Structure 1
Amino acid sequence: MKNELIHGDALSVLPTLPSGSFDALITDPPYASGGVHAASRQQSPQTKYMQSGSRQLHADFVGDERDQRSHLAWMRLWLAECHRVLKEGAPVLLFTDWRQLPLTTDALQCAGFTWRGVAVWDKTEGVRPQKGRFRNQAEYVVWGSKGHMPLARRAPVLPGVVREAVRKVDKHHMTGKPTDLMRQLVRICETGGRILDPFAGSGTTLVAAREEGYAYTGIEMTEHYWQVAQQRLVTP
């Protein structure tokens, strides 16, 4: 398989990919979060995730409005397909926030993966402060593997906490992750491996894979972000 970025719905595209063909799943799916109550979560991403009074710099995206039960069912569906297309022993990394951390660990295991831990993305003190409260300074990477994960894999020791600030020049999606963060995380894939990202967004995981010497396949449903990712991937 060549490197590719596919425009489409992950639930439709994943069944067309060959079984046992990927060495890692690394993705940042919609969280369906951003509120304590169901009514809050069903608002648009722009309303949920942008600070009050901020100018909208990035397009909205779909799939972030599900309630807890439907979100768990949806995650189990696409993760089960990912289980099929991954090689035995392949690592799995799923981004989530504090609200959806328990659900994400459940979804990983419901799809047949072995849950191995939680890594932390420290977003630094640059996040919005709220007086009298702890900063929401972290997001999380729920990680595991398809079955047994040998210790002799061709991959380095990875940090349990990665500290990377969000920088405007490197932010191409409303919920985009820093490229340097993703360059560290993709190294969990064995040397020379192929990485799958079913929710490619603006393509940061794929860019990081390319920069670190991995092959990749990405899927993105929102046309705007598919185009953004395409442009980033043709830029040296």
Structure 2
Amino acid sequence: MSIIREEIIGDCRLLLGDCREILPMVGKVDAVLMDPPYGLGDLWAGGGGTSKSSWMFNPVEARSWDYAAPDWIHEIVIDTPSIVWGGNYFSLPLSRGWLVWDKGVPDFTTGHSELAWTNLSQPIRNLKLFPNVMTPTGRDGRKLHPTQKPVEVMKWCLSFLPDAETILDPFMGSGTTGVACVKLGRKFIGIEIDEGYFDIACKRIREAYAQPDMLIEAARKPEQMGMAL
């Protein structure tokens, strides 16, 4: 499959295709922040208390690789600072630096909280944030992507990667990680296999650049202008 399509939007490079084929072509990045969609097959089958026609999600095709956690994920994160949402379901090395998103109330699919595995040397961190008021939705009120996180959650994750200039998300989905990178002035590489979600990600990232984060703008050092004498 390789790269089907490539979009460059500001400091963001968005690639349409299968990340398993594209990753070897990406090159070195400073950090990985991802939320793999594995397990959606069970969710659609009713294991998560919902179905493809759920009011919470836009319908998506349950691909064969949605049913099992991939063993090759650990190869991505072994030598790079990484945060993997849902990492508690995968075969990853032991970690002391878990991230916990406390939702306050269950969202009927993943319960009261979600966990992210990290290979960072830090204590467990906890964020309390209600998802229903922070997550963008489509016109019908459904999430833009089944595993979509609020931008604030991804910005929180990036706060633990302060020295990472270029962030990779090999499961970009609707582009939330990319939007967070734009808001924080980071470079971003995102890979997505579904063209519909790829288009949504492109749109959201363009909109993020059109509405820059005022805190980032204010933090930029003012340029000293010379005076004509």
TM-score by length of 2: 0.70
* Paired residues of 1:165 and 1:178 also in contact (CA < 8 A): no
Structure 2 residue corresponding to 1:23, chosen from 8, 22, 30: 30
Q: Secondary structure at the match of 1:22?
A: coil
Indicate how the Cα distance of structure 1 residues 80 and 52 shifts in structure 2: closer, same or farther if over 3 A, else same.
Answer: closer
Query: What is the alpha-carbon distance in structure 2 between the residues aligned to residue 49 and residue 60 of structure 1?
Result: 16
The equivalent of 2:60 in structure 1 is: 60
Instruction: Quote how far apart the aligned CAs of 1:166 are.
Output: 1.7
Query: What is the alpha-carbon distance in structure 1 between the residues aligned to residue 18 and residue 31 of structure 2?
Result: 20
Structure 2 residue corresponding to 1:9, chosen from 13, 18, 28: 18
* Map 1:1-236 → 2, pairs under 5 A: 2-18=11-27, 21-32=28-39, 41=42, 44=44, 48=48, 50=50, 54-55=54-55, 57-63=57-63, 71-72=68-69, 74=70, 76-81=71-76, 83=78, 90-96=80-86, 101=88, 103-104=89-90, 106=91, 108-109=92-93, 115-125=95-105, 127-128=107-108, 136-145=111-120, 160-167=125-132, 170-171=136-137, 172-191=144-163, 193-235=165-207, 236=210
* Paired residues of 1:24 and 1:194 also in contact (CA < 8 A): yes
Indicate how the Cα distance of structure 1 residues 62 and 215 shifts in structure 2: closer, same or farther if over 3 A, else same.
Answer: farther
Q: State percent identity of aligned pairs.
A: 24
Gaps of 5+ in 2: 1-7, 138-143, 211-229
Count of aligned positions: 192
Structure number with greater CO (CA < 8 Å, separation at least 6) is: 1
Gaps of 5+ in 1: 35-40, 130-134, 150-156
TM-score by length of 1: 0.68
Structure of higher CA gyration radius: 2
Runs of 4+ with >4 A deviation: 45-49, 51-54, 61-67
Q: Secondary structure at the match of 2:55?
A: coil
* Paired residues of 1:117 and 1:142 also in contact (CA < 8 A): yes
Query: What is the alpha-carbon distance in structure 2 between the residues aligned to residue 117 and residue 222 of structure 1?
Result: 31
Indicate how the Cα distance of structure 1 residues 138 and 24 shifts in structure 2: closer, same or farther if over 3 A, else same.
Answer: same
Indicate how the Cα distance of structure 1 residues 194 and 124 shifts in structure 2: closer, same or farther if over 3 A, else same.
Answer: same
